[in-house]
Amino acid sequence: MDKILEKCIRVGVFGTFLGHGIVALGINPKWIPLLTCFGFSESQAITLMPYIGIVDIIVAILVLFYPIRAVVGWAILWAFMTALSRPISGESIVEFIERSSNWCLPLVLLILLGVPQKAKSWLTVRE
């Protein structure tokens, strides 16, 4: 049962990060304020977005096929920060709440894989 659950979660994280990666590659103008609220200029946000998209797509593929815990950890942090950027940039807190699955799903995956107890364990799939 855990294997089926893990595979479903990996597909969910894959879909989230692949979708966001594709949108970022297209430089979504609605996402510019989500970067400028952290101190980037508008032109820097536009320049960064395709790189962010590439990283998101790489994360999606790795989580689907080889979920290294460091990558899953990054997915948690990145999804949390992007969700948090919504209210920081002036949108409603509901926008953060609505995106809780974006970071909770990789968090559940990390728990299933085993939260690393040693630094080198972050570079493996399981303990």
pLDDT in tens, 63-121: 999 999 999 999 999 999 999 999 999 999 999 999 999 999 999 999 999 999 999 99
Instruction: Give the model's pLDDT for residue 79.
Output: 98
Share of the chain above pLDDT 90, in %: 97
More confident residue, 127 or 11: 11
For the chain, helix, strand, coil in percent to 5 are: 80, 0, 20
51 band by pLDDT with thresholds 50, 70 and 90: very high
Where does residue 112 rank: exposed (0-12), middle (13-18), buried (19+ CB within 10 A)?
A: middle
In 3D space, the residue among 51, 49, 79, 50 whose CA is nearest the CA of residue 63 turns out to be 79
126 band by pLDDT with thresholds 50, 70 and 90: confident
pTM of the model: 0.93
- Using DSSP's 3-state secondary structure scheme, residue 68 falls into coil
Instruction: Give the model's pLDDT for residue 78.
Output: 97
- pLDDT of residue 1 exceeding 80: no
Tokens of 1: 């049962």
- pLDDT of residue 127 exceeding 90: no
Instruction: Give the model's pLDDT for residue 113.
Output: 96
Pairwise CA distance, residues 62 & 21, whole Å? 13
